[in-house]
Each structure stands twice: as C-alpha cells, then as structure tokens.
Amino acid sequence: MKKRTDILIPIGAAAVLAALALTIYLGFQRQNWIRKGEQLADAVYAALPEQTEPGIADGDGEVLPVQEINETDCVGMLSFPEYEKKWAVGSPYTDINLCPVIVAGSPKGKDMVINGSRRSDQFGFLESVETDDLIVFEDLNGDVWTYQVTDTADTELDDDLWDLAISSSNSTIYAVLAQN
C-alpha cells in the first residue's frame, strides 16, 4: 500500500500543478486579448474620420470602408451608450478574440450582422440588454447609424424585422434603425 501512495501522491501533485499552470496561462492570455482589443478600439476611434480606401462589399453592392489599424482590418466602432461599452469592429477575417467582427451585410443595406466573443470584455453582457436600448455604429467614413433594440430573442427573427443583429455564442439581439 505504501508503494502505491508513493506513486499516486506525486502524480496527483503534478496534475494539480499542471492545472494551476494552465489556469494562470489562460488568465494571462485573456488579459492580453482584452488589452489588445482596448488598444485597437482606441486606435479605431482616433482614426474614424480618416478613411481613404474602399472595403467590404455587401450583397447589395454597398461598400463598407476598411482600414488597417494596428495590423487589424477594421470597419468601424460599435457602442452601447447605456452600458458605456465600445469596441472596434473588424472585417470578417479578423480574429474574434481581438474584437467583434462584421460577418454579413452593412448598415446601408439594413442587414448588418456582427458577431463577438461571449467573454465579459466583449458581448458577455448581451443578456442584460433590454428592448429600447440604443446601439451606435460608426464606419470609418464617419457615417453614424443609431439603432434601437427591438428583440432579445433566442430564436432567429425574420429578416424584415431587423436592421442589425448582434450575437455571441449565448445571446442574440436585434435592432432597427432609430435615426441616421
């Protein structure tokens, strides 16, 4: 019996240490993504009026300007004023860990879909968003669209009922254009 405990105790201790090391590593990695995302949002915010190149074309022929900022292709800024939250929005091929990304449509086409991480620094708060809350999207030409949340449904809504859909892996909200 002593031989067995002499083997199992070190193996158990090694497993606990490995789990602790992995937890610490993932915590540092998460903080790094948060820091990079905040830096990117600040850089995009500073660059908003300076658009020089065309960018992503949606299915209706509308072009959403794209600009490389901090080595990331960005299309604009998304904010939830009531929650004091804002993010840079990346092009479809941007790493979603860094910032939310536009995956379809455009504000001009009234069919924009933005997807983000459910981490607390991105869209982890979507479950607390309420009907009538405002959402603001500003593209890199400086054009601003203000949306009003109409539904926080867990099911998909008919395309005619929304102009903007924002989702993470656990929540989706839909909004209509409030003013432009």
Average pLDDT over every residue of 115-120: 85
C-alpha 91/C-alpha 95 separation (Å) is 9
**Extents of the domains making up the chain:** 1-51+61-179
Which CATH superfamily, name and number, covers 1-51+61-179? Sortase (2.40.260.10)
C-beta separation of 155 from 141 below 8 A = no
What is the model's pLDDT at position 148? Answer: 92
Most confident by average pLDDT, 35-44, 135-144, 164-173: 135-144
- For the question of whether the overall pTM of this predicted structure is more than 0.85, the answer is no
Number of alpha helices (DSSP H) and beta strands (DSSP E) in the chain? 1, 11
- Token readout for 78 is 């998304």
C-beta separation of 101 from 84 below 8 A = no
Cα separation values, 75 from 40, 156, 162, Å: 12, 25, 20
What is the model's pLDDT at position 77? Answer: 92
Question: Range with the lowest mean pLDDT among 49-58, 73-82, 134-143?
Answer: 49-58
Question: Range with the lowest mean pLDDT among 46-55, 108-117, 140-149?
Answer: 46-55
Q: Which pLDDT band holds residue 3 (cuts at 50, 70, 90)?
A: confident
The DSSP code for 157 is P
H/E element, 80: strand 72-80
